[in-house]
Chain A
Amino acid sequence: MGDSVSMHAPYESSGLMGTLRGKVGMWLFLISDALTFGALLAAYGAMRMGDPSWPVPGKILDIPLTALNTFILICSSVTMVKALSAVRRGDIKGLQKFLLGTIAGGAIFLGIQAYEWTHLLTHGGLSPRKDLFSATFFAITGFHGFHVTCGVIYLLAILAQSFRGVYTAQSNERVEIAGLYWHFVDLVWILVFTFVYLI
């Protein structure tokens, strides 16, 4: 972090990527994470195509409820970009307000997912051991839910730092980096929603 703190114009910095080390680091992490999700979805697709008796997800899973959850996650991405643009204007109250909104969105998403899982496990007769459909469903949505949980904790840490006066209009790279992670989690959910629920 030493370099980024001392830079006066962080977005004009030189180097191959022309951006901050922290941001490049987060992008590299997100690519490796994308490959993990890619492997999960590819394995899911391969197993599904290899099994003619694979059920239609829409007949087992609650699509309207999950569509609502997708909507909530998209909204939380919007509040995240608003949080970053607020701190760049020097509006710390706005940063905190929008960060709180983003955290709330993530928490509601997790709440609905917990409700969905409970419902499927108790009334839907699904369990990770039942069949490949159930196993892949819980593995993929669970891995994503774990990412949302980490994101909520991550953003809570950023929010706590904002109350200690860490972020200003000039120094806010860590808010942007946290935002990258949060938007990535949203991006992955868009794909999970399509491949696991809709198709």
Chain B
Amino acid sequence: MGTAAHQEPNYMKVFWALLVLTIIEVILVYLPMAKLFIAVALILTALAKAFMVAWYFMHLRSERWTLVAVTVIPLLLALDLLIGLLPDIARVPF
């Protein structure tokens, strides 16, 4: 990775994005909409926030792809395990 990749991201922009998404999440909870819709919206917002923290604050964006692969692959496998098991465990259809 060249030095250009190590230029600092605009941390304040990331901060404002995280703050706005958090406010959106809290507002979503009180909206009179279908529970499933709210749950999906909340999960997508949370994943977006988690991604921003890892990508910008933890500098994953300026790491070599091998390190990114080492972090992402186990998480995908864990997610796969979860998705595979949930239909057997959960009695409520989702």
Contact = CB atoms under 8 A, between A and B. Distances in A.
Query: What interface size band does chain B fall in?
Result: 35 or more
Contact of B75 (A38, A45, A52, A194): A38
A115 to B, nearest CB: 19
A63 B28 CA distance: 12
Contacts of A67: 22, 26
B63 A18 contact: yes
Main secondary structure of the interface of A (DSSP, over half): helix
Given A80-B57, A183-B53, A183-B54, A194 B70 contact: no
Query: What interface size band does chain A fall in?
Result: 35 or more
A95 interface: no
Contacts of B64: 17-19
Contact of B91 (A19, A52, A179, A193): A52
Given A27-B70, A46-B89, A51-B91, 17 more contacts: A11-B1, A18-B63, A18-B66, A31-B74, A34-B75, A34-B78, A38-B75, A38-B82, A46-B86, A49-B89, A49-B94, A64-B26, A71-B19, A85-B11, A186-B57, A194-B45, A194-B46
